[in-house]
Every structure is written in C-alpha cells, then in structure tokens.
Structure 1
Amino acid sequence: MTLTAQRFPSRRHILTGLGLLPLAAAAPKPQVVTVLGDSITAGLGLPAREAMPAQLQAALGKLGVSAVVRAAGVSGDTSGGGLARVGFSVAADTRVCVVALGGNDLLQGVEPARTKANLRGVLQKLKSRGIGVVLVGVGAPPAIGASYAREFNALYPSLAREFGVPLYANILAGVGGHSALLQRDGIHPNAVGAKKIGEALAPVVAKALKGR
C-alpha cells in the first residue's frame, strides 16, 4: 500500500489567516501627470516614445517616482487654445498638470498681457478642480524687441508667485540654439533634445507630486 503525503497549511499561512502576519502590500498606483502644451509637448516630428512626455515619464521612473505621463499637447496651440480646452484635455484623475504654453503666442506676437490672462484662466480652472500645477515658461529673445521680451518673460514668474506653483522658467533651456538637440527646423527638439527637457523637468514634477 502506498502512503500519500498529506498537505498541511504552512505556519505562515495559518498566522496570516489569523491576522498575525501582514499581507503583502499592494504596489502603489502610478500618479497621473498631464502635459498641456503645444507642438513641443505634442512631440511634433517624433514618435510618441521619443517625445517629451514619454521622456519625462522615463526620467521620473529613474527618480523612483511611479507616474503615467499623458501627452495633451496640440501643435500650433496658443495660451488661448489651452484655456479653451483645459476642461476636457486634462482628465479628472490628473495629479499634476504641466502647463507649457506660450511659444506660439510669442511667434504670433500676442500681447503679453493677453497671454498672461489666458494662462491665469488655465491655472484658475486647474486650481478649482484640485489639480496641482507645474508652470513651464518660454524664453523670449531680446531680438524680438527688448520691451516685449521683458514683459513676456516676466509673466511666468509673476503667475507662479500669484498661484504659489513651481516654475520651470524656459522649456528650451539648454536645448534651444544647439543644432545637435534640434530638428532641422531649428525650433523643435529632436529625440535627444526631448530627453534633455524631460530629465531637467523631472525633479520639478517629482517635487510637485510629493507635495500633493
């Protein structure tokens, strides 16, 4: 006669069942970051995996931050366009919204006061929904007109102070003017440039997420 070994629950299983040992903790759900912007954040000329939002998500992961970064950039969008669509482009589960608008306002010569009013509207709408913000500026060169550039460049830090949100002063910092980091149009970042932007922006976004 062959004896079959009986299977008894282990001591650990018994203690866990009695509530004397903790169950394994579930992995934290990734936080949602939405990037509201124009062609730079839309990744014009790049596959999605190489565009700035994907690069930002990868950079956050390297910092130990579990996040899903959603691209909500529209090529050609101005601050007014962002204001018009912020309600449906930024989903309710967004923890932090990266607001990166103004480059096309600059190219079109929109009055800085109008750009500021539009961005204020975007920030107010996000604040009313309890969504955190990282404000990303655009650097206006003096060649466009010293007075205009001065007023335009001042609007971003002014809004950051008004709403108490972190500011990344110039989305193309360290990238603009460097041909090795730009596409042939000399304006939009290539994959290497987008990675550089994502890596530079990641610590600011990580800190904003932590503050939520």
Structure 2
Amino acid sequence: MRKALAAGLLSLCGIAATAEPLVLAALGDSLTQGYGLVEEDGFVPQLTRWLDAQGVEVKIINAGVSGDTTAGGAARVGWTLTPEVDGMIVALGGNDVLRGIDPAVSKSNLEKILTEAQTAKVPVLLIGMQAPGNYGADYKQAFDAMYPDLATQFGTLYAPSFFSGLQADGDPGAVQTYMQPDGIHPNARGVALIVDDLGPAVLDLIAAAKQRQ
C-alpha cells in the first residue's frame, strides 16, 4: 500500500514510476546469517538466486545475527520491519535449544515477533526447529509444538523444519555430508538443499505479500 501510494504520486506528477521489487526480511540467527561460509554461499544469497531462477525478482534483507536467540529477535524486530519490508521469514530458536531456554520463554518471544509483524500487516513465513532429546521428552514436545501452534494462532505460513531439505533421501547419516565440521551449520551444498526445500514456501510468502500491496 505504501509503495502503491508513492507510485501514484509520481504518476500524478508526470514522472514514470518504475515498479520496485518486493522486499523480504530474513530474521534469524547464524543459519540465516551464513556462518562459516563465503557470502555468496549463504542462505540469503542462495535463496535470492533460486528465486531469480524462478523468474521472481525480490530483494532479501539478511537480518540474521550469529548467536541470536528468540529474545534477540524480539528485541530487534521493530527496526527490522522498516516501511519497505513486504514480507518476513522468521527462523529462530536453535540457540534457545543450545542454551536450554524454557520453551515457554521462547514461545513468548516468538509471539512478540509475530505480533509486531501482524501490527505492521506484514505476512510471515515461520520456519520451525526441533529440539534434541537430551533435555527430556517434555522439553522436546513443548519446543517442537510451539511453531505449528504459533503458525495457527497468527495465521502465518509455516515450514516444519529449517533442515528438512537435508533429509530428503531418508538417510539420517547422509545429513553430516552437508554440514560444516561443527555439525551445526550447513555447508554450501547443504544450504542449496535447504533452499530447494524452503523455496516453494517462500514463493507462497511472496504471493501473500503481493496481495497486501
């Protein structure tokens, strides 16, 4: 709407208005930021190229901060959602698990992020994470469930897992082939598989953003 008003004013002034590409913000942690990779191999650049190959022109703001938790995302979502942002990808929670943060706290932080987006009328693609079993079954159940619960509550688009693209062949052992030596962050090949898996959901986000323009 804001972009449409600006284009209309330019038209009234007799100035040819060029349609601006959609702008997405990718709010996340090191997985979004591209930790351990050269810039062009990171999630945002690879996703941008994937979309370009689909004939979709879009600008993606890399709002990934290495080491960030859901609390960090909640603290900075306000200034991430600038007027130019048409849609937002939210991929946070991995560092909450590494620190053993109570899932109820993580869920509250994600609620703040989604509330900010809802207030700004910006559609969201929420990407889930899964907790390992070492914190116990109750922790894992609460953590894993918060993503689909929040997607339903706020009516967001939803992708069950950031890493599901690495498991497409059904061989859990093959996943390490696509990881960096730390076993936490994907390598360039892994990011490519992740982008292939999440790309269709991002296309849905872009479609939702266009409907709101």
TM-score interval, smaller chain: 0.7 to 0.9
Q: Distance in 1 between matches of 2:25 and 2:183?
A: 26
1:91 Cα deviation from its structure 2 partner: 2.5
For 2:202, the equivalent position in structure 1 comes to 205
TM-score of the superposition, structure 1-length normalised? 0.84
* 1:39 is aligned to 2:30: yes
Unmatched tracts of structure 1, length 5 or more:
1-24
For 1:133, the equivalent position in structure 2 comes to 124
Aligned-residue sequence identity (percent) comes to: 40
What SS class does the counterpart of residue 110 from structure 1 fall into?
A: coil
TM-score of the superposition, structure 2-length normalised? 0.83
Q: Deviations over 1:55-100 (max 9, x none)?
A: 1111112222211111110011000000001111332211111000
The answer on whether the counterparts of 2:37 and 2:187 sit within 8 Å (CA) in structure 1 is yes
Work out which of the residue numbers 163, 174, 195 in structure 1 matches 2:165. 174
The one-letter amino acid paired with 2:31 is: I
Work out which of the residue numbers 74, 79, 91 in structure 1 matches 2:70. 79
Summarize the Cα distance change of 1:202–1:28 in structure 2 as closer, same or farther, 3 Å threshold.
Answer: farther
What are the equivalent positions in structure 2 for 1:47-126 lying under 5 Å apart? 47-126=38-117
What are the equivalent positions in structure 2 for 1:183-198 lying under 5 Å apart? 183-198=180-195
The answer on whether the counterparts of 2:165 and 2:196 sit within 8 Å (CA) in structure 1 is no
1:158 Cα deviation from its structure 2 partner: 0.2
Q: Distance in 2 between matches of 1:93 and 1:196?
A: 29
Unmatched tracts of structure 2, length 5 or more:
1-15
Q: Distance in 2 between matches of 1:49 and 1:72?
A: 16
Q: Deviations over 1:24-60 (max 9, x none)?
A: x987432111100001101001122110011111111
The structure in which a higher percent of residues are helix is 2
Which one has the largest radius of gyration? 1
What SS class does the counterpart of residue 62 from structure 2 fall into?
A: strand
Q: CA RMSD in A?
A: 1.7
The answer on whether the counterparts of 1:175 and 1:189 sit within 8 Å (CA) in structure 2 is no
1:156 Cα deviation from its structure 2 partner: 0.2
Summarize the Cα distance change of 1:194–1:131 in structure 2 as closer, same or farther, 3 Å threshold.
Answer: same
What SS class does the counterpart of residue 118 from structure 1 fall into?
A: helix
The answer on whether the counterparts of 1:36 and 1:90 sit within 8 Å (CA) in structure 2 is no
For 1:161, the equivalent position in structure 2 comes to 152
